[in-house]
Amino acid sequence: MPGDVPTTLLAELTHRCPLHCPYCSNPLELIRAEGELTTEDWKRVFTQARALGVLQLGLSGGEPLLRKDLEELAAHARREGLYSTLVTSGLGLTRPRAERLKEAGLEHIQISIQDSDPEVAERIAGVRSVKHKQTAAALVRELGFAFTVNVVLHRANLDRIGEIIDMAAGLGADRIELANTQYYGWGLKNRAALMPTREQVERSREVAEKAIQQYRGQMQITYVLPDYYEPYPKACYGGWGKLYLVIAPNGIALPCHGATQITTLSFDNVRNHSLEWIWRESEAFRAFRGDSWMKEPCRSCPRKAVDFGGCRCQAFALTGDATNTDPVCTLTPLRHIIDEALAEAPVPMDHFQYRYVAGEPVQA
């Protein structure tokens, strides 16, 4: 389908991060600073992305504020007409930097919050961070950025979803994104410590639905349920290679931030190819476009136009074959994999395997 036009580019500017959250969406093999793209590389990518049709740019990481050229990159993105979102932990968002980002034309800042309970929040992040985040949030408000709080949910914080929503409103957020942990990469490694119970999920759904009504007009709330408890898989970004692309810190272009774990695919680099060629022609982006790659039960299923067979990364991570139906789907015999995971005995939080670069000293 050569006619697909992407709308969204997630630029993972760096994998370096002061936080060590055990559900990090970065891959297990983190890229080091010396492997990162240069300022000029990123600017070229942003220009090419806009020309390809991208409208939304996520400046993400790791912690993107660790890139000293962030302001320059944000200014370039704005000149190209992209709507940019800074996805940050808030750590490192000092007043001078926030003011320079405003001047550069950055429009939207997302700050991650780990929990409304400061003690648990810092246990999840693996570092003292709550104060920094409050200061950063106040700065984002004061300078008039569009402001989203994002929260990854799991067993240790899901019961406080109501308090977390109220906290985001108290910080002055325009939006809050509540998303349950996705179980691949670090999340999969820590699944037994993160997986909520069905009761927790049900209750959280009710609380979220009430809050959506309560905060209507003041703060937008989006709530993504954990797919393990759903009968059908999630539709990943409108389908593989349809709307979305990710550039990893080293320039590898991915159809989804989890795609590197599909070891049967090879990925091309923006250092060697134009973004347009990668989008239209590269093997990785063509691999699961359309539906000719599908097996049964997807191939003849009417839902294939709704969820595209689910998440390719999850299918590969859990079954070893990326062309299988996402095992979340109750229409596939593979569903037993999910049900067995849900039946696993939970392990406590002190079993977390925190996100660290291999060789990085683990804090006490």
Residues that bind other proteins (CB under 8 A): 5, 7, 50-53, 55-56, 81, 83, 85, 107-108, 146, 148, 174-175, 177, 216-217, 220
| Token pair recorded at residue 192 | 């037994």
What is the rounded CA–CA span in Å between residue 339 and residue 45? 42
Task: Please enumerate in sequence order all residues whose Cβ is within 8 A of that of 339, keeping only pairs 6 or more positions apart, or say none.
Answer: none
Could you check whether the bond before residue 297 is cis, i.e. omega within 30 degrees of 0?
Answer: yes
The end-to-end CA distance of the chain, in Å, is: 51
In 3D, which of 271, 243, 268 has the Cα closest to residue 254? 268
- Tokens 């695919």 locate to 265
Shorter beta-carbon distance to other proteins: residue 178 or 318 = 178
Helix (H) or strand (E) holding 207, with range, is helix 198-214
How many degrees, rounded to 5, is the angle at CA 43 between CA 41 and CA 45?
A: 70
Integer CA distances (angstroms), 262 to 7, 207, 253, in order: 23, 36, 13
Other beta carbons within 10 Å of 29: 11
Q: Give the shortest CB-362-to-other proteins separation in angstroms.
A: 34
State both tokens at 79.
């000149």
3-class DSSP assignment, residue 175: strand
Instruction: Mention every residue, 6+ apart, whose C-beta is less than 8 A from residue 109.
Output: 85, 86, 88, 93, 101, 140, 145, 146, 147, 148
Nearer to other proteins, 55 or 127 (CB): 55
Q: Which residues contact 192 (CB under 8 A, 6 or more apart)?
A: 344, 345, 346, 347, 351
CA distance 106 to 64: 13
**Which residue lies nearer to other proteins by CB, 214 or 319?**
214
325 φ, ψ (degrees, to nearest 5): -60, 140
